A and B are shown apart, each in its own frame.
Chain A
Amino acid sequence: MSDKSDRRDFLVRLGLGAGVVGVGLQGVASLRSLVPNVSYDPPTTVKLGPPHDFPDGLKFLPDERLFVFREGKTFHAISAVCTHLGCTVRAEALPQPETAEVDGRPVRLTHRYLCPCHGSRYRGDGQNLSGPAPRPLAWYRLTVAPDDGQLVVDLADEVDRDFRLTVA
């Protein structure tokens, strides 16, 4: 092969290579631009209102998709987001409150949860009983806001099922 055709060959490869790299980079840039750098999602820490506004028993907060339970001075919160595919479960009151042993301490169960999308069922403490749900419903940390004493939930902070917040 002569030097001339070597050079031609090289230039053709160079041109094609440059073209492929150029188009490839455009593609990568286009895809990367679709990955958001700033999140405009609502904050995960939400004020829920003064503790004394909550009735004894269950209160459903649709905006946070959260069940808040009050027993006298203690509070806990269970997520209403089904662990299967994210539909909002509904609470159904039991005809008779039951007591179950959860993580070594008795819990009074007044409701059960049912999912309208694929039929998962959960016990009152969020334990998955039947249907396709792979995990129990999440429990979230409750705190009291230092400024105005409102109940605060952190939807990014999952806690164990023995978590209770006691409000003085």
Chain B
Amino acid sequence: MALLKRKADPAAPGVHPQPLWSFRPRSDRESGDAIVANFVLHWFPAKVARASLAWGYSFWLGTASAALLLLLVLSGLPLLFLYVPSVERAYASVKDIEYVVTFGAWIRSVHRISAHLMVAVVFLHLVRVFLTGAYKNAAGGGQHREWNWVIGVVMLLLTLFLSFTGYLLPWDQLAFWAVTVGTNIASSIPLVGPQLRELMIGGREIEQATLIRFYVLHVIVLPGGLGALLAYHMWRIRKDGGLAASDLDAPPERPRPEPVVPTKTYSLLGVARGQSPVIRASALEAPDTTVNAVPDLTRRAAIVTLGTIAIVSILAVVIRSPLEEPANALLTPNPAKAPWYFLWLQEIVTDTTFRVGSFTLNGAFIGGVVLPGLLLALLTAWPWFDRSPAHAAGRWFPASRRRQNAVFLLIVVGILLLTFVGMFMRGPYWQLFWPWEAWPEIPSRI
């Protein structure tokens, strides 16, 4: 049923008289119309492979990440009005949000829980895409899924930077010492390090210039970049013929060279020339394996989005956001722990100072820059190293990708283990304790 019907003259070709679209299309034509007539739905193709919609294939982790980003933007807006980015007032304004503003604690909690979940879900999304080889292309299909993987890695980085810049804003102890350690890691880079740190914090001391820099990054630069990349990430999925699982039932045909004909006529589903019509054609020829995007895809996307919103909203009622003591440049907390998703890095910078004779390799540089940099470079370039056959894409644990999946999982488990050690096994002065061991009494001040 169309939401809004207008009795009007038949529209000119390419003009869509309905201001809204049909949630429950009665025909393929109406379903395709919903895609063409709607700005947001333009992300999606009119027809999608049934296999790519399966809950157990993608777990809809990308959609959940996008829903979390939406929640972060929505909950960030009121916080933007309430938070004051000044070293004198930042802490007090966050305290006000937490204890004075009506619903302030809940909004902050929604923002914080969404951020934590987003780091986790985006990471799981990456793990899923790797394990299913979803960055791979069908043979000769003219697809470029590997570039969407690269964009995804950049988006993971942006998510981490957003979290990092976000937890600085309360200007509490966690914030201050996180900036201290984080920017000193940058400072450990030979030759350019100290200048880089000065550029990051806007001086030599962590002060007002530092806070405003991280604030602007957090509220404008990074979310803007992430939003733009998200739109491109979604659009690329469509241009590459859907998720990798789509190719299993209807492999894309080889693109045929077509003569360029000047025309103003749009095809039935309003798609452009080039790669898409070819893939669309193969999809249309396989009606058993494809469904209309409206409502089959939109319904599931709505379920995932609403489910994410529901879970976060309820968790935010139960879980309060912590606020440590105000930033104190004079006293480092003991132990000073990074948030959970950076604890593996904190472990690595602890363990990678090496002495060769009188020469010392600083763990800050090895563990904070070189090792994560190499890991990141390898991750980004992996689609070009992956030599498994094209038909290994879009499946869980194919035999031909067993070895690389095992190595990948080993690295993931290693990172999780280091996170566990940092979380539960590090006590005062960053000493190792068993999780069940009591920490010794350390005077908090001297």
A2-16 vs B, Cβ < 8 Å mask (1 yes, 0 no):
000000000000000
Is there an interface contact between B349 and A40, defined as CB atoms closer than 8 Å? no
Main secondary structure of the interface of A (DSSP, over half): loop
Bound-state Cα–Cα, A118 to B204, Å: 22
Bound-state Cα–Cα, A134 to B368, Å: 14
Bound-state Cα–Cα, A49 to B207, Å: 25
- Stretch from B250-258, B326-334, B412-420 at the A interface: B326-334
| Residue A41 is within 8 A (CB to CB) of chain B in the complex | yes
Is there an interface contact between B363 and A39, defined as CB atoms closer than 8 Å? no
B183-218 vs A, Cβ < 8 Å mask (1 yes, 0 no):
011001000000000110011110101000100000
B312-336 vs A, Cβ < 8 Å mask (1 yes, 0 no):
0000000000000000011111111
- How many residues on chain B are close to A (CB under 8 Å)? 41
| Residue A19 is within 8 A (CB to CB) of chain B in the complex | no
| Residue A117 is within 8 A (CB to CB) of chain B in the complex | yes
Tell which of B184, B188, B430 touches A116, judged by Cβ atoms closer than 8 Å.
B430
A90 contact set on B, CB distance < 8 A: 332, 334, 429, 446
Is there an interface contact between A118 and B350, defined as CB atoms closer than 8 Å? yes
A115 contact set on B, CB distance < 8 A: 332, 429-430
Tell which of A35, A60, A116, A132 touches B349, judged by Cβ atoms closer than 8 Å.
A132
B184 contact set on A, CB distance < 8 A: 85-86
A62 nearest CB neighbor, chain B only: B330
Task: Given A85-B181, A118-B349, A134-B360, verify A42-B330 contact (CB < 8 Å).
Answer: no
| Residue A91 is within 8 A (CB to CB) of chain B in the complex | yes
B367 contact set on A, CB distance < 8 A: 132
B352 contact set on A, CB distance < 8 A: 132
A39 contact set on B, CB distance < 8 A: 203-204
| Residue A114 is within 8 A (CB to CB) of chain B in the complex | yes
Is there an interface contact between B363 and A62, defined as CB atoms closer than 8 Å? no
Query: Which residues in window 71-96 of A have CB below 8 A to B?
Result: 84-88, 90-91
Nearest CB of A to B260, in Å: 21
| Residue B263 is within 8 A (CB to CB) of chain A in the complex | no
Query: Which residues in window 104-140 of A have CB below 8 A to B?
Result: 114-119, 121, 131-135
Nearest CB of B to A124, in Å: 15
Is there an interface contact between A135 and B429, defined as CB atoms closer than 8 Å? no
Bound-state Cα–Cα, A34 to B221, Å: 14
Bound-state Cα–Cα, A22 to B330, Å: 46
Tell which of B188, B203, B331, B363 touches A88, judged by Cβ atoms closer than 8 Å.
B331
Bound-state Cα–Cα, A145 to B329, Å: 26
Tell which of B209, B336, B353, B361 touches A87, judged by Cβ atoms closer than 8 Å.
B336
Is there an interface contact between A117 and B332, defined as CB atoms closer than 8 Å? yes
B177 nearest CB neighbor, chain A only: A87
B330 contact set on A, CB distance < 8 A: 62-63, 65, 88
Bound-state Cα–Cα, A62 to B446, Å: 10
Is there an interface contact between A86 and B181, defined as CB atoms closer than 8 Å? yes
Is there an interface contact between A41 and B204, defined as CB atoms closer than 8 Å? yes
Is there an interface contact between B334 and A116, defined as CB atoms closer than 8 Å? yes
Is there an interface contact between B350 and A87, defined as CB atoms closer than 8 Å? no
Is there an interface contact between A84 and B202, defined as CB atoms closer than 8 Å? no
Task: Given A84-B353, A85-B180, A115-B430, verify A41-B363 contact (CB < 8 Å).
Answer: no
| Residue A146 is within 8 A (CB to CB) of chain B in the complex | no
Is there an interface contact between A119 and B431, defined as CB atoms closer than 8 Å? yes
Nearest CB of B to A83, in Å: 8
Is there an interface contact between B335 and A116, defined as CB atoms closer than 8 Å? yes
Query: Which residues in window 36-60 of B have CB below 8 A to A?
Result: none
Is there an interface contact between A41 and B203, defined as CB atoms closer than 8 Å? yes
Is there an interface contact between A118 and B346, defined as CB atoms closer than 8 Å? yes
B431 contact set on A, CB distance < 8 A: 119
Is there an interface contact between B199 and A85, defined as CB atoms closer than 8 Å? no
Bound-state Cα–Cα, A90 to B446, Å: 8
Is there an interface contact between B333 and A116, defined as CB atoms closer than 8 Å? yes
Bound-state Cα–Cα, A42 to B333, Å: 23
Nearest CB of A to B404, in Å: 32
| Residue B17 is within 8 A (CB to CB) of chain A in the complex | no
A84 contact set on B, CB distance < 8 A: 349, 353, 362-364
Q: List 19 A-B contacts (CB under 8 A).
A: A34-B213, A36-B202, A40-B209, A42-B205, A60-B446, A84-B353, A85-B181, A87-B181, A90-B332, A90-B334, A90-B446, A116-B333, A116-B428, A116-B429, A116-B430, A119-B430, A132-B349, A132-B351, A134-B353
- Known A90-B332, A132-B353; further 11 A-B contacts with Cβ < 8 A: A40-B207, A41-B203, A41-B204, A60-B446, A84-B353, A116-B333, A116-B335, A118-B363, A121-B429, A132-B350, A132-B351
The 10 closest A-B pairs by CB, nearest first: A119-B430, A62-B330, A116-B334, A132-B363, A132-B353, A134-B362, A118-B350, A85-B184, A86-B184, A134-B360
